Amino acid sequence: MSFIDSGISHFGRVIKTGYIQWELASKDGFFHRIDARIKVLFLIFFIIIVSLKKEIVPEIIIALFVFGLTAISRLNLFNFYKKVIPLGFIFGFLIALPSAFNVITKGEVILPVIHFSRSYDFWIYHVPETIGITREGISGVAMLTLRVVNSVSLSFLILYTTSFSEIIRALKVFRVPDAILMIITLTYKYIFIFAKTVEDMHLAKKSRMLDEVANTEARKWIAGRIAFMFKKTQQRCEEVVKAMLGRGFSDTIKLYGFRKMNSMDWTAGFFLFFAGVIFLWS
């Protein structure tokens, strides 16, 4: 069950990362001291900018700008980008890599991969004599990868410098529907409950084992646990709803105690907005 062990260790890292986020949000860095409402607007504004840029150089400059914000916010750069880079590689580079070939993106072939005796035509598809990576294709892959890396970096920067409750409060100020806020909150909480339950089940199973389990039996056990977790999730949802109704819950979320933004919040807000405008028009 070595593959199960690796999966369980991943669940453990998910739990630890979730709780570490709260600890990181209590540090006294640059972004930690900014009001959550400004940070949410900053996140939305810059993700729009990242999506609108169509050249590689501006995306690289934005990546360096986010790197600088991360550094002055006193976050651990190694741990931060250890999470960002794999996501950018998987959801940016690997997914877009097929589009770099001249079968999909026409252009100048800079790296030949396969050479046939002649070209072929299948229905509406044309297979050229030489299949390879084009300059235009690799440029598109690099662009998408940078967009993913920048978007993930911006999101993690906000998550690692802002407590989850403050993010919800900021979204409430911006008139996000209460139903969406409830879904986000309950989903966030249940991720950790789900991961902890799976880890406990695995440890209970492992503590009763004297030898390795065959792959067939392991797959049956996993299938059974999936069905169990599905039923347990339904039961937990019903219990949560009853508990909320029993405590007088209505369909409206009320939050109190918003602090007044100080001069530092306004200064930081204008600085980030001015930087965003420069990136947008550069």
Report percent pLDDT > 90 for the chain.
18
- The arithmetic mean of pLDDT across residues 188-210, rounded, is 74
- pLDDT given at position 68: 93
- pLDDT given at position 20: 56
For residue 155, pLDDT over 70 is answered with: yes
Distance of alpha carbon 34 from alpha carbon 161, whole angstroms: 9
Q: Give 210-240 pLDDT, tens digit per residue.
A: 667 677 777 777 778 778 878 877 787 778 7
Sign of CA dihedral 147, 152, 155, 160: negative
Distance of alpha carbon 109 from alpha carbon 106, whole angstroms: 9
CB 102 within 8 A of CB 128: yes
Helix (H) or strand (E) holding 114: strand 109-115
Q: CB pairs under 8 A, 24+ apart, for 248-256?
A: 251/178, 251/179, 252/178, 253/172, 253/178, 253/181, 253/182, 255/168, 255/169, 255/172
Token pair for 70: 């991360």
CB 62 within 8 A of CB 53: yes
For residue 3, pLDDT over 80 is answered with: no
Residues in the chain: 282
For residue 251, pLDDT over 60 is answered with: yes
- pLDDT given at position 274: 92
Q: Give 62-109 pLDDT, tens digit per residue.
A: 999 999 999 988 888 888 898 899 889 988 899 888 888 887 778 788
For residue 198, pLDDT over 80 is answered with: no
Q: Which residues contact 211 (CB under 8 A, 6 or more apart)?
A: none
- pLDDT given at position 66: 94
- pLDDT given at position 147: 94
- The arithmetic mean of pLDDT across residues 164-168, rounded, is 82
